[in-house]
Amino acid sequence: MAFEIGGKSYETDEEGYLANLADWNPEVADYMAKEDDCDLGDNHWEVINFLREYYEEYQIAPAVRVLTKAIGKRLGKEKGNSKYLYELFPYGPAKQACKYAGLPKPTGCV
């Protein structure tokens, strides 16, 4: 599968995750979010950028539990809970945010 932004084509897997991590740019995240009727604000971007950094460092997308803990540590307690993250990403913070961040689906996520 693939989609197109401004004449450039982006390959995805059957669930819409970007096939090549290196293809990612912020426009990709905006495009994917729009497809889900989601408007990305600063709070979304904090999480997306965090995920990209986490992947860069550890070569995996973190599990929700790990993401929640790490976000709390980095961005403050009021953001380090699943309620906050699910409000931002109702399809599941790990699944949906990872997709916008251009990462593969988190390990163990079915």
Q: Which of 62, 71, 85, 89 binds another protein (CB under 8 A)?
A: 62
Active-site residue flag, 109: yes
One-letter amino acid identity for 82? S
| CB nearer to another protein: pick between 38 and 60 | 60
User: What 8-state DSSP symbol labels residue 103?
Assistant: P
| CA gap 39, 2 in Å, rounded | 21
Q: How far is CA 72 from CA 4, 24, 65, 85, in A?
A: 35, 26, 11, 11
Supply 107's token pair: 């390990």
Instruction: Choose which of 38, 40, 63, 75 interacts with another protein (CB under 8 A).
Output: 63
Q: In the beta sheet, which residues pair with residue 76?
A: none
Site string for another protein, 2-41 (x = CB under 8 A): ----------------------------------------
Q: Which of 38, 91, 109, 110 is catalytic?
A: 109
DSSP state of 81: S
Where on the chain is the footprint of another protein (CB under 8 A)?
Answer: 57-60, 62-63, 65-66, 69-70, 107-108
Active site (catalytic) residues: 109
